[in-house]
Copies of this chain bind each other. A is one copy, B any other.
Amino acid sequence: MKGIRQLAEHLDISIGTVSRALNGKPDVNEDTRRRVLAAAEELGYVANQSGRSLRQGVTNVIGLMLEVSRETVENSDDFFLGVTDGLQSVFSRHKLDLVMLPCPDDEDPHEYLKRMVARRLVDALIISATRRTDRRIELLEKARIPFVALGRSASGGSYTWMDLDFEGVAARGVDRLVAKGHRRIAVAAPSSDINLGYIFLDSYRQALKRHGIPFDPALIIRVKSSEQGGYQAGHELLMIEERPTAIILIHELMAIGLYRRLAEAGIVPGRDLAVVGFREEPRTHFLQPSLTSFRMSLRDLGAQLGETLLATMPAYADHYPQGARNRIWPLELVPGESDAFTLTG
């Protein structure tokens, strides 16, 4: 079966009628429609997407750009797979399909995105891992393609974004630790230019200030956002002269590496050092002593992200009257044993 023309010939009707029948248009004789549907099924006909796209001006595909850094691969980040699920639950309502666009390690993300936009194989895009300065945002604004950034950035104009509540995590982490008597609170922050690092540290500093604790740059440990990074953070923490009594982590997997390094040094979280982890994750469940961390639903985040994106698209905005508001996604503190002690003296 080649195209609609062959199908129409086979049925001995016009291609227009075939098209209308297949697309569920109302002005088609029910008997005709049945015949068309049956023949299409039998001959395995389905409309060529390029033909449809060209005529209709839309692809009905949404792209999620991924940066497959070596770091991501090694840590096997579950984040995107979880979010994907939520996205699809929303997109499927409108017969939109999601494709993931993995930017190769050795290609500049900006160039990659440019090419993807140029090809127009998606109607809209989601970008993530936004950096402090992120040219992708201007690129997308200029291309006038609907998009939502998962993560804030200092770049661009008034684009739509969603982001995790990094400031809330930092603030609550500090508050909690200070309440338990800590004053030397370290932070494992990302070594990259990723924007969440700035937000997190700003909030951390403000929280300290609120409590009248002077900021000590020596307590900012720059490591990769990974299990390895957590190990490294543990290593560096042990070498700080006046050793911190607590540490707040900025990535879920850091806790695993940190625990390992601490164990090597005979240091017990929740007894010798207070540890506040980041996102609760199946793998962090097994840590002993249990980790104080923050809970969120990846799927719900994905669904919200999907709705926000659709709200930016003229064709779907009507369904999402809340509009394309920027949102900070809350995380709920889940107390564990890793910081369950009060500092005395």
**Chain A interface (Cβ < 8 Å from any Cβ of B):** 44, 46-51, 53-54, 59, 61, 63, 66, 68, 72-78, 81-82, 84-85, 88-89, 92, 97-102, 104-107, 115-121, 142-143, 227-228, 260, 282-283, 286, 298
Contacts and interface: CB of A to CB of B under 8 A. Distances in A.
Contacts of A143: 44
A16 to B, nearest CB: 18
A282 B99 contact: no
Contacts of A50: 49-50, 53-54, 59, 120
A81 B72 contact: yes
A94 to B, nearest CB: 14
Contacts of A53: 50
Which of A75, A81, A143 is most buried by chain B, counting CB atoms within 10 A of its CB? Answer: A81
Contacts of A107: 92
A260 B282 contact: no
Q: Is the interface of A mostly helix, strand, loop or mixed?
A: helix
A73 B281 CA distance: 11
A78 to B, nearest CB: 3
> Copy number of this protein in the oligomer?
2
Contacts of A100: 66, 99-102
Contacts of A78: 73-76
Nearest to A72: B81
A306 to B, nearest CB: 12
Contacts of A115: 97
Given A53-B50, A54-B48, A73 B97 contact: no
